[in-house]
Amino acid sequence: MVIDFVCQVSILYKGAYNAIWEHGPHNFLYVHENYVNPNFVLQHDEVSIQAITPTHVLFAVVGRGVDVYDMDKHPFVMLAQYLEMKKLIMVPMWAMYKLSEETGDPVEREIIGYGMTARSGSTLLTQMFRKLPKTVAMSEPWALFHAHKFYSRGQIPEENYHNLILAILRLQFKKLHHVSRKHFSLQVLLFNLFCFRFPVKEWLSS
């Protein structure tokens, strides 16, 4: 890789109007801890993609043994990340593309995608998928939502948008074997791209 190290910071304080909402660097008071190799985010299960800015991708680092996809503890991934994260890893956008190339497409995995409207029963559906063996159910990870927000505001150019979505999906599915994914309603429009690129077994709407 061209870049050898990325910044990891320790979180001292968290602040948000609503814990169940999008979170970025402005929601945290943090101090620099060290620099880590970008591959750290691929090699550690306690690291997950958390947010997108126009220039960086943020990865949440939670405590050892904490599973942000454990719906017995938290109903949504973005809430689990906000409450449980101890550190943030800040990866420049161009370096994130390098990581996604190393990860590659999740072609050997069965992927089930489904959209939602509010109070549609999609959280219950996610909980049901979670009970299946060898299945990881992702209830509202919001990195795609962030990407679409910045794109709709003109902060991410259209020519970069599809590549960004593909890179996020690759990193979201890192080292996972069977994945069901719950999407926030604004992300449904991304599934034309999602289904075209990845081997989606089923597309559901709740």
**pLDDT reported for residue 4:** 75
Q: Which residue from 1, 74, 72, 67 is spatially nearest to 37, judged by alpha carbons?
A: 1
Q: Return the structure tokens found at 191.
A: 């599934």
**pLDDT reported for residue 73:** 92
142-183 pLDDT, tens digit per residue, is 888 888 888 889 888 888 888 888 899 889 888 754 455 554
Structure letter (DSSP) for residue 25: G
As a whole number of angstroms, the distance between CA 178 and CA 86 comes to: 27
**pLDDT reported for residue 105:** 83
Q: Where are the domains of the chain?
A: 6-100, 106-205
